[in-house]
Amino acid sequence: MRSLKDIISRLMEIPDEGTTPERYRIVRRNIAILMLIITLFPLALITAINYLDYQTALRNETLAPMRALVNKAKYSFELFLTERLSTLNFISSAYTYDELTDEKNLNRIFRILRREFEGFVDLDLIDSYGNQVSYAGPYYFQGNNYAGQGWFEQLKVNGIYISDVFRGYQRFPNVAIAVQHVPEDGREWIVRATINIDKFDNLITSMNLDPESDAFLINRQGMLQTKSKFYGDVLDQPALVPPKSFEPVVVEQRDSLGRDVFLAYSYLNSTDFIFVLVKPRPWVMKSWYASRADLLIIFLMGLVAIFVVVLRLTDITMKRVKESDDKRLLAMREMEHSHKLSSIGRLAAGVAHEVNNPLAIVNEKAGLIKDLIEYKADFPDKEKFLNLVEAIIQTVDRCRVITHRLLGFARRTDVEIQVLDVNEVIKETLGFLEKEALYRNIAIKLNLDNNLPRTSSDKGQLQQVFLNLFNNAFAAIENGGTVYITTFERDEKMLGVTVEDTGQGMSEETLKHIFEPFFTTKKAGYGTGLGLSITNGIIKRLGGEISVQSKLGEGTKFKIYIPKETQQHMGHFK
């Protein structure tokens, strides 16, 4: 499947078929489709953002009451259990051990306790060794020892204890609570009571949940501590243990019945209980589903409006394009003419370079002939041959002047001296090579002098110098190599820049010709041999210096010096 970028690129291609009606039809179609894509994309993006934002806001507004309800229920359960623990703590403190040992007295206390506080099933006294000393309640318990049980050890550590739900002798689900009392005389005892969980069910019922919702208590093993509308009875295992949090949390998940639900929960303090509220996601988000249709209608209306406007604008645009076609064709002819002149100029510059070499040879040979003729005093027709040789030399000089003028015309650029920061110029130039460095895994190590003074020079010419040096360094190293760039202040007149690579280096013979025009060590078709020659010329014309150090297998290091002040009257570079 084509990507969006390929489709847009294909639509932006205008067929070159003159001024035929078919061409205008294709262009009109492509422009219309392109404008629709460009206009519909922001509309679709805005619609999607609004869709998600509204959904998120509505979801938060819907889930906030769930958090509040869970927090309120948590507080109610904790208050219920705290009141019972406080009552037991009061009993253990208000009565002595001997008074609590008397079962008649303990039964009287228990009757008052049941009258004032609902939910108590029984009450008993346990000594510090875990022996049950006395009991008040509907069952006959006497002489039990709890010293080896886990809840007893936990009570000795924490001072209070709240058990998970368990089924008593009559198979009714209950919760055991206990407090430890340590008087000043050091004699410890424990008051324990059993509470039925009807109050728990009453608290859940008072929440007035909708028919699709469910609320219940579980312990930290995921076992139900109260009845659940959908997940089972007390002590069933719905395999649901949410992450620990004493603050109300709402998560979205799939339950054991395969429904997508919102699960709100909170851990109760000082107990192993977790209060859980479950609501089906469709029930919670029903208002969102209703508003989603309105959002879709608005989107479709915007789509129709954009379609009509795009077609109208496309027709107007194509009429203007058709009217300007003749002017465009004329401009194209002028551009072709200018391009031909530019090509001729480049060709002339190349020819001038090639011609200069044989001219130099002719000039040398003519000079040699002249020296030989003058050396022999008895040379026949000496004056005649000297005149001929002089004519050759004058002709060569004339050709040299012509080629130099041709080169100067091809290379002429205006100098723009400005105050600049060499470090910034280096960083800007490296920006052109970032992609190549990343692709080839080339490390660029910058050691730039932060206190380097600013200089007056030509920014464009310096960029060309740095770009040539950086390109040569990249070409010299393998993938994964390193290029080191350093700037420094040599003296009060010159700034220094070094470009060092970890490439293959150059031989001494290569170093002798490195700045010669058309000399290159690159493969055929990959270099012109003019880069370092031009770089050398630019540095010299700026009044600077350039040098190179290299050794086979150890890399290459270019060092250039740039004057802090470049003269303004330099005219043109040639």
Q: Can you read off the two tokens belonging to residue 349? A: 């510059």
**532 & 473 share domain:** yes
**348 & 364 share domain:** yes
Answer with the one of 358, 379, 410 that is the final residue of a domain.
410
**399 & 436 share domain:** no
pLDDT reported for residue 500: 92
CATH code: domain of residue 167: 3.30.450.20
420 exposed, middle or buried (CB, 10 Å; 0-12, 13-18, 19+)? middle
- Position 160 in a domain: yes
pLDDT reported for residue 162: 92
Give the separation between CA 66 and CA 312, rounded to whole angstroms. Answer: 52
CA dihedral (404, 406, 408, 410) positive or negative: negative
435 pLDDT more than 60? yes
Residue 122 is inside which H or E element, if any? strand 120-127
DSSP 8-state symbol, 213: -
Residue 220 is inside which H or E element, if any? none
pLDDT reported for residue 160: 92
Answer with the one of 364, 385, 410 that is the final residue of a domain.
410
pLDDT band at 569 (very low <50, low <70, confident <90, very high): very low
Give the separation between CA 9 and CA 11, rounded to whole angstroms. Answer: 5
**432 & 468 share domain:** yes
CA dihedral (102, 108, 111, 115) positive or negative: negative
**406 & 437 share domain:** no
pLDDT reported for residue 5: 58
pLDDT reported for residue 373: 78
Please give the average per-residue pLDDT across 74-86, as a whole number: 91
**121 & 158 share domain:** yes
Least confident of 156-170, 316-330, 552-566: 316-330
571 pLDDT more than 50? no
* Cβ pair 199, 165 in contact under 8 A: no
Please give the average per-residue pLDDT across 280-292, as a whole number: 67
Least confident of 136-140, 150-154, 542-546: 136-140
* Cβ pair 393, 370 in contact under 8 A: yes
Q: Can you read off the two tokens belonging to residue 488? A: 């420094």
- Position 186 in a domain: yes
* Cβ pair 322, 19 in contact under 8 A: yes
pLDDT reported for residue 275: 93
- Give the SS3 label for residue 445: strand
Residue 418 is inside which H or E element, if any? strand 417-420
**Interval 439-466: pLDDT, tens:** 889 889 999 988 889 888 888 788 888 8
For the chain, what is the mean pLDDT? 80
- Please count the structural domains in the chain: 3
pLDDT reported for residue 292: 63
- Give the SS3 label for residue 546: strand
Please give the average per-residue pLDDT across 243-264, as a whole number: 85
Least confident of 336-340, 381-385, 392-396: 336-340
**Strand order across the 555-563 sheet:** 443-447, 482-489, 494-501, 555-563, 545-551
Alpha-carbon dihedral angle through residues 512, 517, 519, 525, given to the nearest 10 degrees: 160
pLDDT reported for residue 123: 92
- Work out the percent of the chain whose per-residue pLDDT is above 70: 80
Q: Can you read off the two tokens belonging to residue 6? A: 């390929």
Predicted model pTM? 0.46
Give the separation between CA 181 and CA 91, rounded to whole angstroms. Answer: 10
Give the separation between CA 53 and CA 74, rounded to whole angstroms. Answer: 31
Domain assignment of residue 355, given as a range: 328-410
Which has the higher per-residue pLDDT, 182 or 573? 182
Answer with the one of 394, 410, 426 that is the final residue of a domain.
410
**Interval 229-243: pLDDT, tens:** 888 888 888 767 788
Residue 300 CB contacts under 8 Å (≥ 6 apart), including other chains: none
Q: Which residue carries 């009257």 as its tokens?
A: 569
**426 & 563 share domain:** yes
Locate the DSSP E strands across 165-296.
Answer: 166-167, 173-181, 189-196, 214-218, 249-254, 260-267, 274-280
**391 & 421 share domain:** no
- Position 205 in a domain: no
Q: Which residue carries 């395999």 as its tokens?
A: 239
Q: Can you read off the two tokens belonging to residue 26? A: 């294709």
Amino acid found at 246: F
pLDDT band at 107 (very low <50, low <70, confident <90, very high): very high
- Position 211 in a domain: no
pLDDT reported for residue 386: 75
